[in-house]
Structure 1
């Protein structure tokens, strides 16, 4: 203190030095947007390799190389893409879907048109096996990849990236590996996904090293490095999708890596990217309690879930006030004990006449883009009003119902307390009903407990069934972990539909002609007879099965898939999306898969 008073200039310089020192420390918490040159250079290097390998493949195809050579070089090309997948998927999602998306048409709903499939998965279909007659088509698709590679280069030379974005992208890649990667979504024909995963994981490790500081390198990064190396070692020891032990690998390796990533973020003081996502930013794994946020599927903040909305929605769900003659409530067709189905082959009308489709479960319907089997409504708010006003289901009039609610002292008071308006409005009624339905996803099954570390939560037979589910039976290619529905992880921005070739019933003698989603898109051939991929959670409680309720048991469903869907039973279906290749599951193996599915029953 005496020194400062005696030498004011020294004091001033000290304060200036301290100020800029603090400022520099703050800057070091997140590097300036253009400082991550090593990361960008790594992306550009991998993309350059991708470009050269694509050109080399074009040359090999042009000069009539053997099938074995083409498949080997194509496999190397896919592995190179895996090295930059984390960046392309995050920063250039539109390009990514045309580089490594499913080999199915992309749908432009507003124009009722479809865009042809392209990219690596479309090429896989042409190379496994390779027919010389497809030579020109293979070259055409490879040239499209050249264009995508140039887009990657142009964008990453121009855009700025921050440490927070890079971390978020790496975390998303780990969850992609833990869902699409481990299921073989990328390589449904070659089945080479376990051979590719080490390249994606090694890339994650390398970029984490580039963005880490000395603090995390002595703590969480060291742990992450060890965990990733251990996972890669397991994959290199056994890359056979049939015999691989998914039931051990996911909880013991992949979940551990995603858990440690949160510790890395904490040590590096990396802020969360401020975007509402389905998978919460603080979720350590896919299986953490409250990992998923159903609010990400709502239209805005005014639709956000609250306990008060849930309670009121539940009351109205069980109240026949919503039907025209006050004889039917939502719970009439959606019974809690049956996972909110009704146990009947077809839904029944007010006149007790069978309708055209089976009553779908409401459990986990919150995590889907598209409601009803044909996905005709975007969200649960639209779903509730559709059912209430349908003359065959509840035949209600929303304006009349709102008048009844406003004349009910309790309901009127509840709506006023929750929404602040003097009278209930139609959108508020829709919202409280939808909120209750969103609350029905509890993630409380034995499978969830097993993935959270309780090794005894599933029986040995159920673990065996899970391994079959992931591998030989190929179920997870369409029913993605951990929601087990068709909403595509890890960003959950799209819900898929499938054409299975379902028959009228389990005898599989006559094809069901329900147009499904195609009814609303008559000019789109790809969507004809397509239906939403529902969740398998609680499926043990929801018999009978399929959109028409024609399959009475899970064994009948398994037999249908085992044969190769409708095509496998001899039906002519040009747009079947389910693979028509038989699975060759034995009776015992099918029973083991069914036993695993029982582990998806919620306990509350």
Structure 2
């Protein structure tokens, strides 16, 4: 090849510069013919070479395109496969969620809150509600004219208070946390130890309790009768016999039956609105009814079974035992309802737990070791994610309780 290339150079040099020798015409003609022949041969060789180069380039392009097409097709197939996998996974997760929802909606222990029970002998009228509200805020129902129902059951604090236990009449700490009034009318028994059979009886209890309002009902009746306007309010409320202890209890109880949290997203969910709760809240409710076992006691309307249990609190409260004398009731307190729960801290009958997160941790560890702890209180072994889900559900129950304010008091200007 190198020799051929060298002869080509000589040939083209000859064309450009000619020969140094003189040639005859015949030689010149011969040279021209030879040159033409050589040039035609070279042109043919160049055409062949160009064809080969073009063919090689075409093949390279085709191969590259084919590789690219294969790669793109492979990527597309992989993407399609991944997308299908995600879709299948989402369908599976959605199917599991729907199954959980179906199971929850069919659980007979989960019941939406209905209308609050109202005794036949104590209907709720506008005049009676105003009278009850007036009595609720009136400090003159106490022995020192300084304490009303509102002092321990503040509307802006979830109708409870932020103290762990209530302040005793005359000073000092009481034995228990002030229970919220929210949804109190749904209980079959009232107070932590269940000593009141009705809301009407409960309403009178604190008035006579020496640690709370310290006022004898026998003394309260003439005291109210002496206040201008009160007798007229009782008559207007439908109490034809005027101011009596029974009527005082009925009026306050009627007012308290207005203090409710109802129709939460939880209730809407149980009524068939499947999207009323988020996925996390549904997981929390599923834990509530399952692994966390909250539903064992917090069930039915108001999420209370109205029973009494020692939940393991580290205190010396006799609980239900003080009422029944039954040794198994030592330290047992009534199951608290959960509506309005985000407004009613601190928690437990002794107010020993500040937050809902701590409440969950308390039950997760199985209580604090009271010797009479119910066998229902055991370690739950919840994960952090499960605790977060359970908390999300509990917050759904908070709702917005109505806020009542102090009305104009009779006998004042």
Give the TM-score normalised by structure 2: 0.68
Q: CA separation in 2, counterparts of 1:562 and 1:305? A: 42
In structure 2, the partner of 1:350 is 169
Q: CA deviation at 1:547?
A: 0.9
On the 8 A contact 2:135/2:141 being kept in 1, the answer is yes
Q: CA separation in 1, counterparts of 2:370 and 2:264? A: 39
Cα distance change on mapping 1:441 and 1:411 into 2, 3 Å: same
Q: CA deviation at 1:254?
A: 7.1
- 1:539-550 equivalences in 2 (<5 Å): 539-550=341-352
Compare CA radii of gyration and give the structure with the larger one: 2
**Are 1:294 and 2:117 matched, yes or no?**
yes
Cα distance change on mapping 1:249 and 1:572 into 2, 3 Å: closer
Q: CA separation in 2, counterparts of 1:597 and 1:445? A: 11
In structure 1, the partner of 2:76 is none
On the 8 A contact 2:112/2:266 being kept in 1, the answer is no
**Are 1:528 and 2:330 matched, yes or no?**
yes
**2:229 match: secondary structure:** helix
1:378 to 197, 222, 226: 197
Cα distance change on mapping 1:385 and 1:482 into 2, 3 Å: closer
**Are 1:584 and 2:381 matched, yes or no?**
yes
Q: Any runs of at least 4 consecutive aligned residues in structure 1 with deviations exceeding 6 A, and if so which?
A: none
On the 8 A contact 1:345/1:358 being kept in 2, the answer is yes
Cα distance change on mapping 1:384 and 1:409 into 2, 3 Å: same
- 1:106-505 equivalences in 2 (<5 Å): 245-251=99-105, 286-287=111-112, 291-295=114-118, 298=119, 301-486=120-305, 495-503=306-314
**2:358 match: secondary structure:** helix
**2:172 match: secondary structure:** coil
On the 8 A contact 2:129/2:254 being kept in 1, the answer is yes
In structure 2, the partner of 1:602 is 399
Instruction: Extract unaligned runs of 5+ from structure 2.
Output: 1-95, 402-413
Q: CA deviation at 1:576?
A: 2.9
**1:461 match: secondary structure:** helix
Number of equivalenced pairs: 305
Q: CA deviation at 1:243?
A: 8.6
Taking only aligned residues, the RMSD between alpha carbons, in angstroms, comes to: 2.5
In structure 1, the partner of 2:8 is none
**1:430 match: secondary structure:** helix
Q: CA separation in 2, counterparts of 1:520 and 1:453? A: 41
Q: CA separation in 2, counterparts of 1:363 and 1:287? A: 16
On the 8 A contact 1:446/1:601 being kept in 2, the answer is no
On the 8 A contact 1:565/1:578 being kept in 2, the answer is no
In structure 2, the partner of 1:78 is none
On the 8 A contact 2:366/2:379 being kept in 1, the answer is yes
Q: Which has the higher helix share?
A: 1
Q: CA separation in 2, counterparts of 1:513 and 1:600? A: 30
In structure 2, the partner of 1:514 is 317
Give the TM-score normalised by structure 1: 0.47
**1:383 match: secondary structure:** helix
Q: CA deviation at 1:346?
A: 0.8
Cα distance change on mapping 1:250 and 1:354 into 2, 3 Å: same
Q: CA deviation at 1:352?
A: 3.1
Q: CA deviation at 1:353?
A: 1.3
**1:513 match: secondary structure:** coil
Cα distance change on mapping 1:578 and 1:331 into 2, 3 Å: farther
Cα distance change on mapping 1:585 and 1:309 into 2, 3 Å: same
